[in-house]
Chains A and B, each alone.
Chain A
Amino acid sequence: MTSFSRRNLLFAGAGVMSAAALSACSPTAGQAPKGGSTPSSSASTITDAERQKALNTPTNLTFWTWVPNIKDEVALFMKAYPNIKVDVQNVGQGAAHYQKMRTALKAGKGAPDVSQVEFQYVNSFTLTKDLLDLTPYGAASLQSQFVPWTWGQVAFNGGIWSVPQDSGPMGNLFRSDIMSKAGITAGATTWDEYMTQAQTVRSKTSSYISNFAPTQAGVMIALLWQAGSKPFGYDGKQSVKINLTDSVANKVATYWQNMVKQDLVSVDPDFNDAWYQGLAKGKYAGWLTAAWGPVFLQGTVAKTSGKWHAAKLPQWSASDDVTGNWGGSTNAVLTPTQYPIAAYELATWINTNLQSTLMFANTQSLFPTTKDTLSDPGFVDAKSSFFGGQQVNKLFSQISTTVDPSFPWLPFMDYAYSSYNDTVGKAISAKGDLVSGMAAWEKALTTYAKSQGFTVTQ
């Protein structure tokens, strides 16, 4: 056994290796929260002279984004403003991107001037005062160019925190070949009809009408959004609203509980191999998804080309015409930037200049947020052969105008999404009680919010 004692040190060291790995990315302890670095919206507006001076001064900006080929739009910007050089960096997508952003922001150096931020995370960065209020730079004048609800996602609590880039209003995509086997030719107009269709599809074909992924909080939130529920809120200071158990949320949860319990929808986790195969092989006859869904499908299940059809999301009442949103992002200017004017110009120019936004829409297939892009004939009138010649963009452009304009978020959506999996997600995958699942989610969020120093209202 003596040969062993030398290894004591080794395994003691290995035991705490995880602590070392963690601390490598941890921010400084004892650091006071930042404050006061954001100009308030009442601050004086930037003058034209200041703007011209900034744009004519040689400047190097850093832009963190995961949007593929965004260099092309940035190149257009640099052509328009030759003195501004932009270094586009992809530091990861989604969670990885935000982790690096937070680390750099807390470290106080290394943060980019402009960064990609999804709608639901804008709040979590205003909480830490890391987003520059764009009001003094003239952002209010841009409002009229944007679809109202997308603007509502970036302008709140007395500031304009980011510039919308793409969006994901929800619709209903389905395989017309499978549906017609069940005698269904059009998308359901109401949720009741959708349930009836689901029963027919289940009995007459070997498919499910769609898959209800247990851990896709984004879809549940979009469905709540459509139903008119306002589960979250944040006053910009210390108070958050959490309510997932009111009558509207109950209605949505109960509906899907019935769908799941009667085995009318499958409950497979999404965006993994089995799910892609399920789409390709017709296990799912449809997909309730966002405006980015059509192009996504085209790329992943190309073999089913021509068999798809797009429709509006079913409604709670036949006279309604509303939808929710799933996905979409913005470009924010971060407070540490030394070149706020140039950074602001970059964030706004690429997202409002028609040439640039059309390139986003037609080349990168980001679903637009500006009105002129959504009415541009080249975009709207395009016929999609994947959808049997349907003008899918036209449909979703119309759907986009029906998104409820006000839907606030919590300043800690990363936690909210992950606790969804452990509460509602578990209930869905166990084909159990979704209403209790929502209550458990609400409880988890409330506990977390209180432990983080927030006051919670319903």
Chain B
Amino acid sequence: MTASHQASRRQARAGLFFTLPFMVVFTVMLLIPLIYAAYVSLYQSTLVGGVHFSGLANYVQAFTDPLFLSGLARMALFLVIQVPIMLGLALFIALALDSGRVKGAKAVRLLTFMPYAVPGVVATLMWGYLYGDDFGPIAQVTRAIGLGSPHLLSNGNMLGSIMNVVTWEFVGYNMVIMYAALRAIPTELYEAAAIDGAGAIRTALSIKVPNIRSAIMLTVIFSIIGTFQLFNEPSLMRNLNPTAIDNAYTPNFYAYNLAFVNQDVNYAAAIAFALGLFIAIISYIVQLSTSRRGATR
């Protein structure tokens, strides 16, 4: 009895020891800054007059701030259009690779994943060049065949162009998550399906997809977070057409500009927290609705 008691205490101590490095970094780099940001967000500051405590006034302002709300709305649009396309593509490729009918599957897997390994900054610069109106290869080709320049960086097309960059970057990443889940499905299920006379497509839709639901949900949640936090792409694309991307183009970009252009760190902290809250709520709703549906089945 005492021996096992001692052993469990030793185990607890070992556990503590092993998680300590993480907990230290987590506390110093995330927890303390978060608490500090929350504290800062409760104050208001002006260039003339200094700083004063304002309670939740920054948050009231945030949720009625047309710039913040327009950024959220833009990202909601982004979410509704881009995420289904990206995850649909990722699922399609994952299923195709898993079916074993693709020649050079390893190469395809690697190539699809490769854009994810390209830093977002580099990817955006590269796409910026490809999109270019006068000297970009896409516009040169369309002009050569008489279609005129597609103006991919114009104010109206910018959001679509950014969607394309993000899709290109993250299809492979999501594909890998789905593919890994597919490989973990017990082969007995396939044998049973085959005995029941299911073809490849039937197997994919009725066995594979339902079995990797939790992996797909994971990619959905990651995509929701990623979308609302969009920052790199718009902030870099801005150099190419600054008028298409205003200061509040995405909520994160808005928070950044508030802090460093408007010099209003307090309100920026409130915006960042409001955004975090919003993402947490959306993610929770999505998760809740799908798990209910799962339960009624």
Contacts and interface: CB of A to CB of B under 8 A. Distances in A.
19 contacts: A1-B290, A11-B222, A11-B280, A14-B279, A15-B280, A17-B229, A18-B275, A26-B37, A26-B265, A29-B43, A29-B51, A30-B53, A214-B242, A273-B132, A412-B263, A414-B260, A422-B243, A428-B243, A453-B49
A49 interface: no
Interface stretch (B98-106, B109-117, B187-195, B266-274): B266-274
Given A1-B214, A1-B291, A23-B40, A415 B50 contact: no
A402 to B, nearest CB: 31
Given A19-B269, A20-B29, A22-B259, A453 B275 contact: no
Contacts of A22: 37, 255-256, 259, 265, 268-269, 272
Nearest to A16: B276
Secondary structure class of chain A's binding surface, majority of residues: helix
Contacts, number: 194
A375 interface: no
Interface range, A side: 35 or more
Given A99-B260, A238-B48, A425-B243, 18 more contacts: A1-B217, A4-B291, A15-B225, A15-B276, A18-B275, A20-B33, A20-B37, A21-B33, A25-B259, A26-B269, A30-B43, A95-B260, A127-B48, A268-B134, A421-B247, A422-B246, A430-B243, A451-B46
Nearest to A277: B135
B58 to A, nearest CB: 11
Given A19-B273, A23-B269, A274 B133 contact: yes
A269 interface: yes
Interface range, B side: 35 or more
Interface of B: 29-30, 33-34, 36-43, 45-51, 53, 128-129, 132-136, 155, 214, 217-218, 221-222, 225, 228-229, 231, 239-244, 246-247, 252, 255-257, 259-263, 265-266, 268-269, 272-273, 275-280, 283-284, 287, 290-291, 294
A369 to B, nearest CB: 28
Contacts of B136: 274
A30 B30 contact: no
B261 A16 contact: no
A258 interface: no
Contacts of B252: 18
Contact of A19 (B135, B276, B287): B276
Interface in A429-453: 429-430, 448, 451-453
A23 B218 contact: no
A23 B32 CA distance: 9
A418 B242 CA distance: 10
Nearest to A419: B247
B246 A15 contact: no
B47 A127 contact: yes
Nearest to B38: A19
A42 interface: no
In this complex, the member of A3, A7, A11, A426 whose beta carbon has the largest number of chain B beta carbons within 10 angstroms is A11
